[in-house]
Amino acid sequence: MTPTATWSYPTSIRFGAGRLSELPGACAEAGMTRPLLVTDRGLAALPISARALDVLRAGGLAAEMFSGVDPNPHEGNVAEGLRALRDGGHDGVVAFGGGSALDLGKVLAFMAGQTRPIWDFEDVGDWWTRADADAILPVIAVPTTAGTGSEVGRAGVITNSETREKKIVFHPRMLPQVVIADPELTVGMPPAITAGTGMDAFAHCLEAYCSPHYHPMSQGIALEGMRLVAENLPRAHADGNDLEARAHMMSAAAMGAVAFQKGLGAIHALSHPIGAMHHTHHGTTNAVVMPAVLDFNRPAVEARLARAAAYLGIDGGFDGFRAFAVDLNRRLGIPESLTALGVADPDMDRLVASALADPSVGGNPVEMTAATTRALFEACL
Ligand SMILES: [Fe+2]
């Protein structure tokens, strides 16, 4: 039987140092005159956010900033952002920042004209068809980290603060119309965030590459994405001003998110509930659980990861790849366990139930059960 699949490719990406200057033109092309710049509180205090706002205003746009974005954005941030969007009469969103700001910005533009509550649009079956697509505002995405790849994604992750679960809100039209990928914006990122976000990009590529679904385009993108991270993340971590390494990491981040259309897996299934319940950094959590997940998946991915090792110039097949991942974590100063990351007194039953309910589970090459998932968490603690 010949394979069948549904593929979609990302959006227009203006890539390169200094291209933030093209932001007003991109907004105008998207039909915006009053964009709302959505960013997080930490970033709002840094000069790059002021610069983005200046660039927009100098380009003749009546832009305002909203920075009520928590590290794991929740429905309260959505409600506050929607008030800012509607009260200001904004006609589009410039999502500016890391995963949290990009996701919230995209969700605000999506929710702007909807009448149903946000959880009605969770990424379950065809729930996205419940949305009024004509009421979705345009989004321009400007990533300032290199990891999440949310700038080329069609979903936003919002935490339900009642159930403390991360929910994926999905709509095809949530994809930003234009991405401004300017690596100069990532130069000021501190080493720990460079490491954590960079390992999120690596985890996206790795899990997409290992997922059993048929998607050879994503497979190729994931492989080259892993090579870009392997060669450039240690450089960007050691010298934040290495613009070439920063640029390659920005590419790898977008590639990871394109690749994970093919699927994610146990790394994200474990990391999502840990992040939701213990407020850990998403990419850093992925990096911590990666070696244990590689061991768990070994029976299904040994030959495949030996091919990846060969492409990355790593000796020793699967074992060499695993040793490389452990060494990469060590070089980046990633904690060796979830306990060292700060996860104390975990509610194991809840973690296991939440991991097994995570949409990433379906992309893992080895089936996850309650028993194996509990053992995986224990191996990571
Ligand atoms: Fe991720």
In whole angstroms, what is the distance from residue 379 CA to residue 142 CA?
37
How far, in Å, from the CA of 259 to the mean position of ligand 1?
Answer: 12
Which pLDDT value is given to residue 163?
Answer: 87
Which pLDDT value is given to residue 119?
Answer: 96
Q: 266-278 and 191-210 helices cross at what angle (nearest 10)? A: 140
Query: Considering Cα of 162, then 166, then 170, then 175, what sign does the dihedral take?
Result: positive
Whole-prediction pTM value?
0.93
SS3 state at 149:
coil
How far, in Å, from the CA of 203 to the mean position of ligand 1?
Answer: 7
pLDDT per residue as tens digits for the range 43-79? 999 999 999 999 999 999 999 999 999 888 999 999 9
CATH number for the 12-185 domain, one of 3.40.50.1970, 3.20.20.70, 3.40.50.1240, 3.40.250.10? Answer: 3.40.50.1970
What one-character-per-residue DSSP string does 12-25 give? Answer: EEEESTTGGGGHHH
How far, in Å, from the CA of 285 to the mean position of ligand 1?
Answer: 9
How far, in Å, from the CA of 43 to the mean position of ligand 1?
Answer: 20
In whole angstroms, what is the distance from residue 265 CA to residue 268 CA?
6
How far, in Å, from the CA of 2 to the mean position of ligand 1?
Answer: 31
Which pLDDT value is given to residue 3?
Answer: 66
Q: Where in the chain is the domain with CATH 3.40.50.1970?
A: 12-185
Instruction: Tell me how far CA of residue 238 lies from CA of 116, 135, 183, 194, 354, in angstroms.
Output: 47, 45, 16, 10, 36
How far, in Å, from the CA of 7 to the mean position of ligand 1?
Answer: 20
How far, in Å, from the CA of 248 to the mean position of ligand 1?
Answer: 18
272 and 358 in contact (C-beta within 8 Å)? yes
Q: Where in the chain is the domain with CATH 1.20.1090.10?
A: 189-380
pLDDT per residue as tens digits for the range 335-354? 999 999 999 999 999 999 99
Say which CATH superfamily domain 189-380 falls into: Dehydroquinate synthase-like - alpha domain (1.20.1090.10)
Element (H, E) at 165: strand 165-170
pLDDT per residue as tens digits for the range 2-34? 766 666 578 999 999 999 999 999 999 999 999
Residue of 154, 178, 148 whose CA lies nearest to 168: 154
Residue of 325, 290, 293 whose CA lies nearest to 309: 325
